[in-house]
A and B are shown apart, each in its own frame.
Chain A
Amino acid sequence: MIEVQGLTKSYGNNLAINKLNFSVKKGEVVGFLGPNGAGKSTTMKIVTGFMAPTSGSVEVAGFDVFEKPIEVKKRIGYLPETPPLYMDMRIRKYLEYVAEIKMVDRASIQKNVAYALEKTDLSDVQNRLIGNLSKGFKQRVGIAQALVSDPEILILDEPTVGLDPNQVLEIRDLITGLKETHHTVLLSTHILSEVQATCERIIIINKGEIVAEDTLEGLNQKMSGTRQMKIRVRRPDGSFEGKIKGISGVKEVSSVGMGEFAIEIDRNDDVQEELAQMIIQSGAGLMEFRSDTKSLEDIFIQLTGKSQSEVNI
């Protein structure tokens, strides 16, 4: 549905994005992840036809963004970083206007507006002036305008900024719901839990370059050849840690305290089985035995070289 090839954008000597290549299939929800200033918004602006790249090509639904911009724009619903709102308009009138300029059939305008209002929970305030709304409401109106033309493709630049936790959950449900109705979604964020909750595939971008592109599971596997295990036993004796270390395939063992141990083993089921057997045979009283997958946060930090404090979770 979206094919990006060799996309480069430079501002003078400053390279915002450098030879990006990626694709998004029909019906996929793809997370575009990266620290602030990584080039996410620039890429999205180019894909929507708002901005021209320095070089490279973008195809949306089979149409080249720069040769057939109107065809592409008919199929895209876009929420920019700052919602594009008219402060002197009422929500309903604004959505009707957006539907009209997005070339929605006259007969479908009211139906589409009602759908967008309902999905963003704005029906009760539809006659309020946009200028008088809170930041969260404005963000929801922004999402509603992206939905109102019922586009095949939705490009959402940080859709949950400014929303309260309940609204964040609602928007995530909405995005998950869009997937069920075969919409294609490209979602940019630097909030990792958002990607984890909604996206099937993740593209991580840093300093204008794609540093990883895979499913969350796939990223986990790629990032590490080892597996983290967490165990808890009731009666660990002095030799317990040594016994674990004695198993071939165990890389590292560290005691977390209160009978808990973090163990790094080779990504191999045999090692895991042998470890389980050894603990039971040792009579230490196994209470918990689990595989601890790396979080997206760990992957993100590893790939983008950011410290924990710089990552917004």
Chain B
Amino acid sequence: MKSVWVIAKKEFRSFLSSPGFYVLAGVFLLILSFSYISMFQAFANAVQKGNFNPFNAPEMNLHNGVFMGFIHWINLLFIFVVPALMGRVFADEKRMRSFDLLMTSPLTSTQIVLGKFIGAVLAIWLMVLISSIYPISASLFAELQWGKLFTGYMGLFFVAAIYTAAGMFCSSITESVVLATIFGVILNLGFWIVAWMSVHAESELAMTIVEHISVGQHMELFNKGLLESASVVFCLSLIAFFCFLSERIVESARWRS
């Protein structure tokens, strides 16, 4: 476990010392700021109109009107931002040959992969935490539904971890950072597209299956304030699955090289 932590610390530090991290985090927050403002304005307009239509009142709250969309936006941005950050994790190590150091040190492939994953996910979670400035600042002048916000953010932590694990896997299969990033984005979009497929599924069974394996569907539940054990188990399984695949790829380097 000590070795895992050593690698995680190094990975976390290398994220924080990379200019790319700050550029991407900056772009992420900039887009988020614009979308937050526009969602707030749209909500204000809707509230004004809603005053004349009392039937809309129960649905008309800050969480449904602003923060659900806001959390969706973060998720959408992460589909692109996380692979861009994760692309270098293994690809760079292979390209710069520092991978040789890891492979000839007294470490197992599992320790290497877990260390990298933990370091990377902590850096990406840092971005999730920074995004919480928006709801916290809103709470100064409005009453928020903290429970729903909490589960929504919990969903974000899970989704970020899934994208991190998937990005790590994509980075482990190539020496090119650009290719790893592209693979990562395609994979993340795939998780999203599955959610749309459920609408077109013909049989009920197919629909249920597609709904269960869609990251978007589970995120939707978290965002609505539902904390279901099925969703938690699904997210953890997906993270474990991609960590396992990455471990297999790292281990196979001994045989393929």
Chain A residues proximal to chain B, CB less than 8 Å: 45, 48-52, 69-71, 73-74, 76, 78, 80, 82-89, 97-98, 100-103, 145
Contacts and interface: CB of A to CB of B under 8 A. Distances in A.
Contacts, number: 68
Contact of B7 (A82, A88, A101): A101
Contact of B6 (A50, A73, A80, A100): A100
B107 A101 contact: yes
B100 A80 contact: yes
What DSSP secondary structure best describes chain A's contact surface?
A: loop
A82 B101 contact: no
B17 interface: yes
Contacts of A70: 106-108
A49 B104 contact: yes
A49 B108 CA distance: 12
B106 A50 contact: no
A50 B100 CA distance: 7
Contacts of B99: 84
Is the interface on chain B under 10, 10 to 19, 20 to 34, or 35 or more residues?
20 to 34
Contacts of A86: 14, 96, 98
B200 interface: no
Contacts of A87: 96
B105 interface: yes
Given A74-B106, A97-B6, A145 B257 contact: no
Given A73-B104, A88-B18, A50 B10 contact: no
A82 B104 contact: no
A50 B107 contact: no
Given A70-B108, A101-B6, A101-B7, A84 B101 contact: yes
Contacts of B255: 52
Interface centre among A83, A84, A88 (most CB of B within 10 A): A84
Contacts of A84: 96-101
B207 interface: no
Interface in B95-141: 96-108
Contacts of B18: 88
A71 B105 CA distance: 10
Given A86-B98, A97-B6, A73 B17 contact: no
Contact of B3 (A48, A89, A101, A145): A101
A85 B107 CA distance: 17
B103 A50 contact: yes
A97 B8 CA distance: 11
Contact of B105 (A73, A80, A88): A73
B136 to A, nearest CB: 32
A3 to B, nearest CB: 19
B97 A51 contact: no
Given A52-B254, A84-B97, A73 B10 contact: no
Given A48-B104, A84-B100, 11 more contacts: A50-B100, A51-B257, A52-B255, A73-B107, A74-B106, A80-B104, A84-B99, A85-B98, A86-B98, A101-B102, A102-B105
Contact of B106 (A73, A85, A88): A73
5 contacts: A50-B104, A52-B255, A80-B104, A84-B100, A101-B3
Which one of B10, B14, B99, B100 has the highest number of Cβ atoms from chain A below 10 Å of its Cβ? B100
B257 A45 contact: yes
Contacts of B100: 50, 78, 80, 82, 84
A81 B11 CA distance: 24
Q: Closest 3 CB pairs between A and B?
A: A84-B101, A73-B106, A82-B97
Nearest to A85: B98
